[in-house]
A and B are shown apart, each in its own frame.
Chain A
């Protein structure tokens, strides 16, 4: 793990971390306060306990001190054996001389000089007290007691152990709770994020909406996002409507102009001089290109709006190819290309939408002419099992793998050479039309060698309602 950055952490980790850290810290503080207060009060308690013990011992030794019986006093001090924490004890008489003394066998055999005042002190892991011994209000001696602080240390160790155990337990529980709770926060958020990514990628279905689960901020985000997508969909619909209306409105006038140009070229307006002929030739080419573009736009907008309908009927390969290659003599001739037809006359019946199949095929031929500078274009008809196949092969520039990968998408900047690329709608429409006819389009190509597009549609099977 490299540099740890809070801002890069996933939200669920952040939430878990925050919950765990804050609960652990507060627990730790509580434990610390507890231990601290214990460690402050414990010495006082110890001192008090020792003083109480001294009181009892002192009280019991008054007669021994008063009547000079050090043997009894000694016996009294020896009873301290029962308390393992007492390190040493000493009774002093009024002169300050040792009267009786005791030391735990393992403790140093040391007794300090008498201290006359009442006194208690902590030092070197033990507590010592000096306490006057009084009998009937008169002082009869002094008692010294020394106790180790092991009891305190053991207590502290117990507390520390409990703190650690409780801390670890609390940490684990809060981790568990936090990781459970964070799912309820991040789960919906992750859903929102996934859906947003989906739509952003372009594949997103604008008709889909996020499920709004709650009234919290995430719910609000989802709701706002839904509103946004709704508006986006409105814009998209408007765009499609606009394209469809405009292209529809343009189609008729362009067709009419093309008709007039044909008429003039056929000499209906009188003899044409060579220059007029050349101009009209150009105009006709441009007119046809315009018409094709408008048709493509209209088709693409129909596809996008999902209103494409097909009219599947038996149609012969020959008829389709015949219609498709119409009007291409001039462009072919201009580029000095030859058009070869193979197996077309033998080609059987297909079950397809004639106009759509023709448009698909024309798109392929169009591209082939555009992308081929010398050689030939071959339109080949064959059958592959249940499918009738029409291939368009050229000896043109070919395509690289990257172009081929994006070929059937509506990608307007596909062509690398400006004069060869158009609106980028041709193959998109073709692919869609083929799908609508239960067929498909595939391609093989080699850069610099040529390309072969292959259209496949079901063959017609006479008799039982259509297909083979």
Chain B
């Protein structure tokens, strides 16, 4: 296991367990623990239009669409935490169908699981025009009209971002986030 990866999940561990997180609890942490932490971290580097906080007592809603790879890890991470002054709720959706459209559009952040690969075009169309940050592991996601894709560079989990898509949805991505990501441009 590479040093970088160790450092990576240690950072995540520290983030979730802080204070006291720096104690020696170096254990194998799964890829999805890191990705879950990244999902939560996105909240800090993205600005949503103000009005979207009106529902759910101003909570930030993370939606998981399809087969959830995170499990309880994500729930543990957001439980009782305020991020940028908001509580974070996790909503899980079964495989996509038309009826979910309204609920999906109310998410701040939508993780589209690998299981939804074939329905991707419909899903993206469904949330188009509302300020939903779309995140996925599906290859070429940014080129397919998505915003952020989890990618891999050796052992390290990296980000591929299509900022134009985010901008179209009315989201502002922090330049700091763009700095560390691989940028994709469509059009």
Contacts and interface: CB of A to CB of B under 8 A. Distances in A.
Interface of A: 60, 62-70, 72, 93-97, 99, 116, 135-141
Contact of A136 (B11, B12, B18, B84): B84
B176 to A, nearest CB: 4
B4 A70 contact: yes
A138 B156 CA distance: 22
B59 interface: no
A136 B44 contact: yes
Given A66-B41, A66-B44, A139 B18 contact: yes
B159 to A, nearest CB: 6
Interface in B2-18: 4, 7-8, 10-15, 18
B22 A68 contact: no
B119 to A, nearest CB: 28
Contacts of A141: 11
B15 A72 contact: no
Contacts of A65: 11
A138 B22 CA distance: 14
A137 B176 CA distance: 16
Contacts of A140: 11, 15
A94 B22 contact: yes
Q: Tell me the interface secondary structure of chain B in the complex.
A: helix
A138 B15 contact: yes
Q: Which of B7, B26, B82 has the most CB of A within 10 A?
A: B7
A93 B11 contact: yes
Contacts of B4: 68, 70
Interface of B: 4, 7-8, 10-15, 18, 21-22, 26, 34, 38, 41, 43-45, 82-84, 156-159, 174, 176-177, 179-181
B10 A62 contact: no
B7 A97 contact: yes
A140 B159 CA distance: 18
Q: Which of A63, A69, A72, A93 has the most CB of B within 10 A?
A: A63
Contact of B44 (A62, A72, A94): A62
Contact of A63 (B7, B11, B13, B45): B45
A68 B157 contact: yes
Contacts of B22: 94-96, 116
Nearest to B25: A95
Given A67-B41, A135-B44, A60 B10 contact: no
B176 A60 contact: yes
Nearest to A59: B176
* The 8 nearest A-B residue pairs measured at CB: A94-B14, A63-B176, A136-B44, A68-B8, A69-B180, A95-B10, A66-B41, A72-B180
Given A62-B176, A138-B18, A95 B11 contact: yes
15 contacts: A62-B44, A66-B15, A66-B45, A68-B157, A69-B158, A69-B180, A93-B10, A94-B22, A95-B14, A135-B41, A136-B44, A137-B84, A139-B14, A139-B18, A140-B15
Contact of A94 (B15, B34, B43, B157): B15
A78 to B, nearest CB: 14
Contacts of A69: 158, 180
A344 B14 CA distance: 144
A97 B9 CA distance: 12
A141 B10 CA distance: 11
B10 A97 contact: yes
A50 B71 CA distance: 44
Q: Which of B26, B157, B177 has the most CB of A within 10 A?
A: B177
Contact of B156 (A63, A68, A93): A68
A60 B177 CA distance: 10
Contact of B7 (A62, A99, A139): A99
A69 B181 CA distance: 9
A63 B10 contact: no
B174 A94 contact: no
A70 B179 CA distance: 12
B10 A64 contact: no
Given A63-B45, A66-B41, A67-B41, A94 B180 contact: no
A68 B26 CA distance: 16
Contact of A93 (B7, B38, B84, B181): B7
Contacts of B180: 63-64, 67, 69, 72
Contacts of A72: 179-180
A138 B8 CA distance: 16
Contacts of A93: 7, 10-11, 14
A297 to B, nearest CB: 122
Nearest to A73: B180
Contact of A67 (B14, B18, B84, B159): B159
Nearest to A72: B180
Contacts of B176: 60, 62-64
A67 to B, nearest CB: 5
A64 B158 CA distance: 11
